[in-house]
Amino acid sequence: MKTADEKELIAMMVGRTVENRYPRVAANPGETILKAVNVRTDRVKDASIELRAGEIVGLGGLMGAGRTEFARALAGVDRVLSGEIEFRGERVSFKNPGDAIRKGIAFVTEDRKSQGVILQFSVRENMALPTLSQRQRMGFINMKRERTFTADMIEKLHVRLSSMEQAVESLSGGNQQKIVIAKWLARDPALLILDEPTRGIDVGAKREIYDLMNEMKSEGRAILMISSDLPELLGICDRIYVMHEGKTMGELEGESMNESNFIKLATGRDLAWIG
Amino acid sequence: MDWVRKYRLGPLIGFVILFIVLSILSSQFLTFDNLRNVALQTTVNALLSVGMTFVILTSGIDLSVGSTLALSSAIAAQLMVSHVNVALACIVGVVIGGLAGALNGLLVSYGNLAPFIVTLGTQQLFRGLTEVYTQGMPIYNLPTSFTDFGTGTVLGIPIPVILAAIMFIAGWIVLRKTVIGRKIYALGGNLKVAHLAGIKVKRYLVWVYVACGVLAALGGLVLTARLGSAESTAGTGYELNAITAVVLGGTSLLGGEGSVIGTLIGALILGVIDDGLNLLNVNSFWQDAVTGLIILIAILLDRKKSR
């Protein structure tokens, strides 16, 4: 029996060779987009983070470390009880997701089927949702512009489907995820928070999502990625913050960004030499 | 049969079949007078079911519309017999309907309570308030300038029918053509997704119930004008007719799916069944049973469809 290595196996699954599983684009960080200091919510104890334009920053940790909860606080979903958040140099305190969206934050949630898309709605209706007000006149939707907009996004993100009127539930996980990313990209956000963006999608689509993230990075957006897939996190991110029991334990960058350091921080041990 | 599903033609086909069958069975059915009568008889339920469509699209329900109808029309009628300007009295009635809806909406959204429970409570509350207000006595001797609305016609079409048609068209435009309508569908389709997309879901929910209350009040004014009196028992059980019209029209009780066009057809199916059974001299006791059977058949067909 013939044995296959990982690369061959992937090639067999997606029908083409995926040259580099984790494509990396050189970071060219710009101004600080978001700075959060000592954020506390009812599920986050003490978390701080700084994100700059044009970089992909990871947020790692074990299950239940408070990563999603921290992201929810940054995106205006959960109430911040104490601490400070500065977005593009301005002190902010979001009352609801709408506040964060208007400032330029997009949040791609972890649970795609229950929080990312309206499954029974069409691709067009889903994609148009966060940007409805951009294609209206006196409250009326410009349907022609909506269809053009949807067609453009489908092409830009290489979503594979038969019609934009198709229900989202009939698409593959990877294509559903692209629709979620597309609807937020349409808002031209300065910060994109991606919570487990590649969970439950095939290897080929994963690679497309990475390419998309790198493109957004090159465009000068800040990206915060939460992932439980450690090789992915180490492979894609320029820096990684690690959380443990509701606290950010530290930041890994360059030489220090490796598996053993990650695990030390994720399990609550400190790295004395990181300072 | 795919296109039947795609364009949701089920209710329309049902209506057309019913229409043809009744035309064959009764020579009086397909006459202008009879059809006008059907339209007129359907008006109050039609007005209520437009509002009910909005509520059910948000995956809610409003059991209080019948009581809202009674309360708002009793207050409007009392003002009229106290020689308040008819138009002003009507506006007050509509505002009362809107306030009743606002109470429902606030309890459902900000109170985070189940619509079924909330409106079960307010159904009793509004009915009780109506009884207290009227002391159980009908309010009659209404000014003819008001009752003329119920009996008058324009180009042969009864004014109430015109009012209902306007409300249907308005409802259709709002739901299908506007940002507001799209957001109502979205929050019924998935409340979390809508919230995360920045839609102020609670505010929208309140306004949807307000709209439902306003339409119930309009239904009440039409009923009162036609009958020439307001009674504390007016509109009892009307919420079920409205819900039936919505469901027959193919709107999902789970929210996010359906249309006012479907509801219009649903309301017309109910009206035509009532009228047809009358024309065919079917015992009125049978009418409810037949209506119930048709609802069950419609739901069964709908279930097969969604599989």
Q: How many C-beta neighbours within 10 Å does residue A123 have?
A: 28
- Spatial distance between the Cα atoms of B76 and B86, rounded to a whole number of angstroms: 8
Mean pLDDT of A23-43: 92
pLDDT for the residue numbered B2? 63
Query: Does the pLDDT value for residue B223 go beyond 50?
Result: yes
CATH topology of domain A29-104+190-269: Rossmann fold (3.40.50)
Provide the residue count of chain A.
Answer: 275
* A114 contacts B198? CB cut-off 8 A: no
**Per-residue pLDDT tens over the stretch A157-204:** 999 999 999 999 999 999 999 999 999 999 999 999 999 999 989 988
Mean pLDDT of A3-14: 72
Mean pLDDT of A119-125: 96
Asked whether A192 and A34 are in contact (CB, 8 A), the reply is no
B178 touches chain A (CB under 8 A): yes
* Residue B167, SS3 per DSSP: helix
In a domain, B98, yes or no: yes
Number of domains in chain B: 1
Residue type, A156: K
* A129 contacts B182? CB cut-off 8 A: yes
Name the pLDDT band for B293 (thresholds 50, 70, 90): confident
Asked whether B119 and B63 are in contact (CB, 8 A), the reply is yes
Query: Does the pLDDT value for residue B137 go beyond 90?
Result: yes
* B193 contacts A116? CB cut-off 8 A: yes
Query: Does the pLDDT value for residue A7 go beyond 60?
Result: yes
B235 closest CA partner among B103, B73, B112: B73
Instruction: Tell me the pairing of strands A82-87 and A105-108.
Output: unpaired
Instruction: Tell me the pairing of strands A140-141 and A136-137.
Output: antiparallel
What is the complex's ipTM, to 2 decimals?
A: 0.90
Q: State percent of chain B over pLDDT 70.
A: 96
Mean pLDDT of B16-25: 92
pLDDT for the residue numbered B285? 82
Average pLDDT of chain B is: 93
Mean pLDDT of A106-126: 95
Question: In which residue are the tokens 């053009």 written?
Answer: A148
Name the pLDDT band for A222 (thresholds 50, 70, 90): very high
Which segment, A10-14, A45-49, A204-208, is predicted with the most confidence on average?
Answer: A45-49
pLDDT for the residue numbered A3? 72
Query: Does the pLDDT value for residue B306 go beyond 70?
Result: no
**Per-residue pLDDT tens over the stretch B52-71:** 999 999 999 999 999 999 99
Furthest-apart CA pair in chain B: how many Å?
A: 59
In a domain, B11, yes or no: no
In a domain, B22, yes or no: no
Mean pLDDT of B186-199: 96
- Between the alpha carbon of residue A170 and those of residues A112, A113, A173, the distances in Å are 14, 12, 9
Residue B302: its H or E element: helix B284-305
Q: How many C-beta neighbours within 10 Å does residue B291 have?
A: 18
- Spatial distance between the Cα atoms of A254 and A238, rounded to a whole number of angstroms: 8
- Spatial distance between the Cα atoms of B296 and B288, rounded to a whole number of angstroms: 12
A119 touches chain B (CB under 8 A): yes
| Contacts of residue A13, Cβ cutoff 8 Å, sequence gap at least 6 | A202, A203, A204
Query: Does the pLDDT value for residue A275 go beyond 50?
Result: no
- Find which of B179, B183, B196 to mutate to test the A interface (most A CBs within 10 Å of its CB): B196
Mean pLDDT of B137-147: 95
Residue A222: its H or E element: strand A222-226
Number of cross-chain residue pairs from A and B with Cβ atoms under 8 Å apart: 67
Measure A242 CA to nearest chain B CA, in Å.
Answer: 25
- Spatial distance between the Cα atoms of A84 and A61, rounded to a whole number of angstroms: 22
- Token output for B50: 């437009």
pLDDT for the residue numbered A26? 82
Query: Does the pLDDT value for residue A11 go beyond 90?
Result: no
Domain that holds residue B158: 40-305
Q: State percent of chain A over pLDDT 90.
A: 84
Mean pLDDT of B278-285: 87
In a domain, B189, yes or no: yes
Please report residues of A whose CB lies closer than 8 A to that of B185.
121, 125
Name the pLDDT band for B290 (thresholds 50, 70, 90): confident
Mean pLDDT of B7-16: 82
pLDDT for the residue numbered A2? 63
| Secondary structure (DSSP) of A26-91 | -----SEEEEEEEEE-SS-SBEEEEEETTEEEEEEESTTSSHHHHHHHHTTSSPP-EEEEEETTEE
Asked whether B182 and A134 are in contact (CB, 8 A), the reply is no
Measure A19 CA to nearest chain B CA, in Å.
Answer: 35
Query: Does the pLDDT value for residue B221 go beyond 50?
Result: yes
Kindly report the CATH number assigned to the domain that includes residue B119. Answer: 1.10.3470
- Token output for A63: 């299950």
- Spatial distance between the Cα atoms of B213 and B222, rounded to a whole number of angstroms: 14
Domain boundaries, chain A: 29-104+190-269, 114-188
